[in-house]
Chain A
C-alpha cells in the first residue's frame, strides 16, 4: 500500500508546517514580559467607547524612551485574567486594574509607586486615591474617575405625575407608578441590582462597608431596613430584568424599556444623543433619618507588576503617561464616552463638565462620592453581593443575611490585619 506512506508524510508535513507557523507567530508578537528585551507590555481592559483603543495606542506610540506594546483584553473577566497572569513571568509589565486589591499589595504583586506622585499627590481626587493607598504608600495611579448615577426620562415622569425621587421610598413609589405593560420603572442591572449597587445603599443609609478605623461599618438595623426596600422594587415587578445589554449600556433606557436606569456617567453622551433634553440625573436617594444621597466613584489605576524585570523602565513610562502627560489624560477622560478626570486641575477646566447633566454628575461625585475602601476585600464583597441578591430575589431575611456577611467581613479584616 504505497499510498499509506505518502499519506503519512503529508500528515507529518502538515504537523511540521503547523509547528513552523506556531514558532513564527511566537516570535513576532512583540511581547517583552519574558525579559527578552524589546517592548514593555501594557494591558487595558476592553472599553466599550469607540476610539478608546486607538487613543491608548496613540499615547503609547508617542513614548520615545521604550517601545510599548498595548494589549487590549476582551472578556468580562479582565480582573481574573490579570490575576492569573500576575502569577507568572509572562504577565504584563504595566496594567490597569480595578484595584489593586489589598491581597495583591500584601502579596507583593505590584510595585510601590509613591515616589511617582511626590509633587502632585494633592492634585488627585482624594476619594479615589485613598483606596490605592495602603500604609501611606501608593500602589496604583488613578486614570479617570468613573461614577454612576440614576438617569430618568423627564417626559415619562411628567406623564405619570411623578416627581424626581429624593428618598428611597419615593424611588420605590415612582418605579411602581412608572411601570406598565411595555415599560418598566427602573433598571438596576439584569441581576436586580446586587452587582452594580454594591455598598451604595449602605452609604445611602448613612453607613459604610468598612469604617475608616478598620471596623465593620454596617452592623446596624438601618442596613437591613434599606436593603428591604430594594427587595420591594423587585416584588412590585417594577425592575427591568433580562435586558440584552446590562446596566453599563444605556440601550435599555434609550430603547424605552425602562423609565429610569442606574448607569455610568460614561453613558451620558449616547443618552443625550438619543434623547436630547429628555433626561435628568440623580444620585442614589437617601434613606432613613441618618441617610444621605450616595454615588459610587472608582478608578481604574495604572499599576506596575512586581514580576516585570524592567520595573524602572515601566515606572518611568507610567510617570510619563499618567503623571506628566496631562493632555493625554484629559483626552482619555473626556473624548471617549465621558469620565471625570482624576485630577482636580483638569476637572476644573473641562468644558464638557460645566453644563447640563454632566455638571450635576460631577457635583454629585464631589459632594456624595464614596469609593470602596481597600479593606473591603474581595471575599467580603462577594459575601455581601450574594446576600444582597438573596434578599432581592429570594426575599431572604435581610437581618439574618447581613449577620452572616458581618461575620465574614470580621474574619477577613482579622486575616488581613494578621497578614500586614
Chain B
C-alpha cells in the first residue's frame, strides 16, 4: 500500500538565519492577511519549504505521484502551550510550527484537492488545533480537520508484527491503510523521553485509537512503533526543523535554533539523518535499529544537503539523573524488576548504582518516562518554588527477587522489602500496572497508579501527591478552548458509541507482549496488514462503549 518509490532521497534545506521566535507555536492574529504574508520569517520559511520539496521532487518525482490523490497530513500537536502556560518566558516547542505547516499545505494544495489534516494528540486535539491555528490553516486551503479520537475506530491485523498484531485506527487512517489515501507525516524536530527522538515515523503513534496507544507502552515501545509500518508508511515526510525542542518532551521542552527543513520519501531514512543532525548517534537509536531489522530502511537513499550538527540536550527518562536530583532533592525512587533483561539481585546492600539504573531503564518506554514527563511539568509550573523540596517516595516495578522475597532498590544501593517500604516516612506513590506487588506500600489506595501509558491518570494523581502544584496552560485566554474541546470530544465519543460506531477499543493494556489474533489462513499470513472488521454492536455493547467513554482518563472517575 502507498507509493513505491524507485529512488528514495532525503533533502536537508537550510533556512536563512533569521529570528524565527515569533509565533512558532500559535499563528498570529493576522494569519491569512497580506501583513502575515509580508513578514520576513514567513517568506523565508515558505521559500525554504518550497525549495526543499522541489529538490525532493527532482530526485524522486513525488509530486507526480501525489497529483490528484487524496491526502492525510498529520502534524504533531502535543501540549500547545503559549508562553503563559508555564513559568518560562518563551513558547514551548512541542507542536509542528504552524507557519511551516502552512507552507507545506500551500505546496500540497497545488497538487491535491482532498486534503485532511488529522491528529490525535491523546488529549484535546480539537482544542489544541484551535489554539495553534490549524483550524484556520484548514479553512484557508479548503481542507478538513479531523481529531482522530473523535473518529470511529477500525480494526486491522498485522500478522508480521512483533507486538502490534491487532491494531485499531480511526477510520480516516483506515483509508491510508487500505491504500485509498496518501499519508504525509509532518512532525517537529524534538527529543522524546520515551524514544529518544520523535520524528517522521514515531509521529504515527498519534494515528492509533487512544486506548491502543497504551498497549505495549513499555520497554516494547520501539517495537510497537515500528510495527505500525506494517500497516502503513509515510509517503512523504516533512520535518519542521526551524526551531527544535530539546529535553524531556512531552514535558515542557526548551527551544533550539535549528534553522532547517528536512524532507524525504523514506521516513526511516529521514529520521536517521535528522537524528544525526541533532547530535545523536543513529546506531544507538532503538527505534532505528528496530526499523532496520524489519527492512523499512533504504540503504541506497540519496542525501541532498549539508549535514550540519546542532547538539540537542538528551531526554532523560529517569528519576536517577543528577539533573533530576538537583531539581527534586526530596524525591526518592525505589525500583525493582525481575526478568532476564535486568541485573539479578545478589545482595541487599551496596548494590552498584549502574545496576539500579539499568533496572529502572528496562521499562524506559513506560513508567520512568511517564514519571519524568510529570516531574518536568511540575518543574516548569509556577508552583515549583513551593514544591521543589517536597519529600515523596516513588515505587516502580514488580520487585527484584532475592531468596524468594521481593525488594525495591533506592539509588543509595539499599534494597527495601515491602514491609520496609510501608514504614517509609513521607508520602509514597506506587506507579505502574506491574508494580501491583508493592501497592500496599502506597500511602492511600489513590496513590497506587495503574495503567501503562495512561499518562493523564498518572499526571492527575502525581499532581495530587505534589500539591499544591499547577499544571501548565493556566492562561484563561486559551483555557476555555481546551475546556470546550474536552466537552466536545466527550459528547462526540458518546454519540458515536450510542450509534454503534465506537471511537475506541476497550482499554486492556495490562500486560506485555503481543495481543492475540485469531488463527489466520495461509494467504493472510504473508501480507503486512489485513482489515479485521468488528462485528456490529449489540445494544449491550453500545452501552458498554458509552460507559467506557471517559472525559479525561480511564482510571479516574
Instruction: Decide whether A and B assemble into one complex.
Output: no
Listed in ascending order, the chain B residues whose CB lies under 8 Å from chain A are none
Listed in ascending order, the chain A residues whose CB lies under 8 Å from chain B are none
